[in-house]
Chain A
Amino acid sequence: MSTVKPVSRKQVPIVPYLILTASGNEKAYFQGCQCQKCGEVYLGTRAICIKCYTADKLEEIKLSSRGEVFTFTVIHQSVPWVKVPYVAGVVRLPEGPVVRASFTGIEADPEAIKVGASVEMVTEVVRQDAEGNDLVAYKFRPVAK
């Protein structure tokens, strides 16, 4: 008898500010940066702080994976590769930035979600990319009370 080992695919994030960790213990997180001069926090990386207009003072930080629903909608008509209806929206992270997201774990119904609700980030493999890597996206789901 032989066991077939699963092919271990490389994982690639669908957006650059989603950081996938190699370790099983550490969850994926959002990359951000903070201006060392004025303290403003941004999602992703940038060269110039557009709050205080200072260049080269932005340092990478890790952002929270929990936030609040800033807004949402239920989308019934979309591009050909997206299954509808689905819930799209924006999440406010405690550090300040907002991030676009789709919601998971809820019905595609306006009654299923509220502005201000607490949500947490989860990741999922969306499909394989052209090189056969796993394309990984994040979504948000309601925090269990």
Chain B
Amino acid sequence: MREVVVIGVGMTKFGRFPEKTILDLGREAIVDAMKDAGIDIRDVQVMYSGSQYQPNMTGQYLLKQVGMTMIPVVNVVNACATGSTAVREAYFAVASGAYDIAMAVGAEQMGKMGLLGVGESRAEVSPEGIVGTSLMPGIFAELGVRHMGQYGTRPEHFAKVAVKNHKYSVHNPRSQYRQAYSLEEVMNVRMVCWPNTLYMCCPTGDGSAAVILCSAEKAKKYTRKPIKIIASIMTTPTYTPESLGFVEIATMTRKAADEAYEKAGLGPKDLNLIELHDCFATAELLHYENLHLCEWGEGGRMIDEGRTELGGDIPVNMSGGLLSKGHPIGATGVAQICELTWQLRGETPNQERQVPNAKVGLGHVQGGFEVCTIHIVGR
């Protein structure tokens, strides 16, 4: 398999843009990524387009926005891992030798979708609320509560994650929210699902991100700062009674992390920064442990000691994370690669959140409770 590098990235601001269609959003990111790479659509040989809630064929309609070049277009759906799956497919398209230049784009226009689309028409049959919860906010809260029960973690530990991520979002011009909050503010704003308050839950929103991948040997023509994709891993859950009757994401995240570190030939201590899937503040703390940043049960101590701040051992979510930056489902995984690329190039907008001399970064996405993707990039 050949080496693959990122030669261009583009990303819209994330937020609420009711006046923009999915095609507007996707086109904007694609045009920016091609401009960044110094190419036009005629150089792209294959396209992977990720959207969770859009109609089928969105990828082909997006291509029509910029040029009908007859290239293969694949529409990708993998819950919150939609975008990172598109990146992975683009990576393999080039790594395999089949194509020299591939594009991955993720775009989402979520309208006023709350609670991930459970509609009133299901009231007749849905056991939601009657038989516990099957929705994300409740389940990620339950995962945090289990951690509290097992390890003595406290709500403040999870709240500190939100304080951290919102603090860095202030310096991210593309972030949906750019407001810092104190620990008291985070803990006292309205509760959504205990212990996650409003500021501890990612918002729904609209946005798009795109990356252009190229074989390493041809990349010199396009960039003087090639950022290599050195591992692209995906896992699904193992069988346990919990993964069947509830959810269990630690095992598959651990497996993805182990495979990624092995493929990249490095360990967690070699990472300069991480963008991980903080859909809820409780999730981030658990992923510190799942990604081998600390031992089981030590996530609370890690945030207490500031080890994941800028200047700490391993900066996590300098973009503001999903909590502040937002989570337009299809775009998120691609946006992580954009962020990591800017950081490794030393070109992070804005520089206040730049990790100095960043050489190796990890992007982690959790799709529902059924898929985990990890990318390691480096220069």
Contact = CB atoms under 8 A, between A and B. Distances in A.
Interface of A: 14-15, 42-43, 50-51, 70-82, 85-86, 88-90, 92, 96-102, 110, 114-116, 126, 129-130, 137-138
Contact of B142 (A14, A51, A73, A99): A73
A81 to B, nearest CB: 5
Given A73-B194, A80-B120, A90-B142, A100 B130 contact: no
A50 to B, nearest CB: 5
15 contacts: A14-B127, A15-B131, A70-B246, A73-B193, A74-B191, A75-B141, A75-B193, A79-B135, A80-B120, A88-B132, A90-B246, A97-B241, A98-B242, A98-B246, A101-B132
Contacts of B120: 79-81
Given A72-B142, A75-B138, A137-B127, A50 B194 contact: no
A85 B195 CA distance: 13
Interface residues of B, number: 38
B129 A82 contact: yes
B145 A100 contact: no
A71 B244 CA distance: 15
Given A89-B142, A100-B131, A115-B150, 6 more contacts: A78-B138, A92-B241, A97-B241, A99-B245, A102-B131, A126-B130
Interface of B: 115, 118, 120, 123-124, 126-135, 137-138, 141-146, 148-150, 190-195, 239, 241-242, 244-246
Contacts, number: 126
B308 to A, nearest CB: 24
A80 to B, nearest CB: 6
Contacts of A86: 129
